[in-house]
Amino acid sequence: MSERLRNKTALVTGSTSNIGQAIAEAFAAEGAHVVVSGRNRERGTRVVEGVRASGGRADFLVADLDGSPEASRDLADRAREALGGRIDILVNNAGIYPAPGTTTTDEKTFDEVYGVNVKAPFFLTAAVAPAMAESGGGVVVNLGSWIARLGVPLGALYSSTKGAMETLTRAWAAEFGPRGVRVNALSPGVILPPAPDGGEPHPGETMMKGTPAGSVGTPEAIAHAAVWLASDEASFVHGTVVDVDGGRTGVAVIAA
């Protein structure tokens, strides 16, 4: 690797598996000291052990980002301490995806999804971005989703939270950009870990038929884009949502 994030520190939420794990591993491979965070201590410990075995720097902090300001502030404080006093890069990745229909969504589920997917990153960014500005600058990378712009059945609740995160990306770029904090977002398409040889195709494969890519993406594809947004190579990029979706939202899909 080119160590594009050498001497940087990073907090990646929801990084004990899937996209978050891939981002944490990619950041560490590029020289960053990474805090891996999530609810599952066992999985988080495995991620950290893997990073360290590869020569990277990582620590795990258990965190249940339920949307309360206290939980977000607590993680920010503990991460700052673990990273030697500063957070250079924040990746708001943690999220949950229950997919009931609109008419079958109860208030408890609604509040839980908005708490984790919107309130938690809102208050975490509020706790991190000002300190970034005071220390000379930083980067915030949010996670959106392709279904924030293309409706899918049973996607109303989740997609609306991702639409909120993409809107917050632009608002935060306007609010914090002049103070040296770049804020952008990634919008993943259908992302799945590599399927075992001989395994049955995942239903997500169907959603990518007729796209330029023609198949689903991997968590590593999102991680590569996250490294770029976090690096100085993207120093002139503010308030942008980068689609990493195999062309799903930008190109007409031609059914086979």
**Which residues form the catalytic set?**
158
Give the Cα separation of 219 and 115 in Å (integer). Answer: 24
Strand order in the sheet with 241-244: 57-62, 33-38, 9-12, 89-92, 138-143, 181-188, 241-244
Q: Which of 79, 76, 73 is nearest to 60 (CA)?
A: 79
Q: Give me the sign of the Cα torsion angle 33, 25, 137, 92.
A: negative
Taking Cα atoms as reference points, which of 32, 28, 33 lies closest to residue 54? Answer: 28
What angle do helix axes 18-29 and 219-230 make, rounded to 10 degrees? Answer: 50
Alpha-carbon distance of 41 to 62, in angstroms, equals 6
Query: Cα–Cα–Cα angle for 162, 11, 175, nearest 5°?
Result: 60
* Residue 201 neighbours by CB under 8 Å, 6+ apart: 195
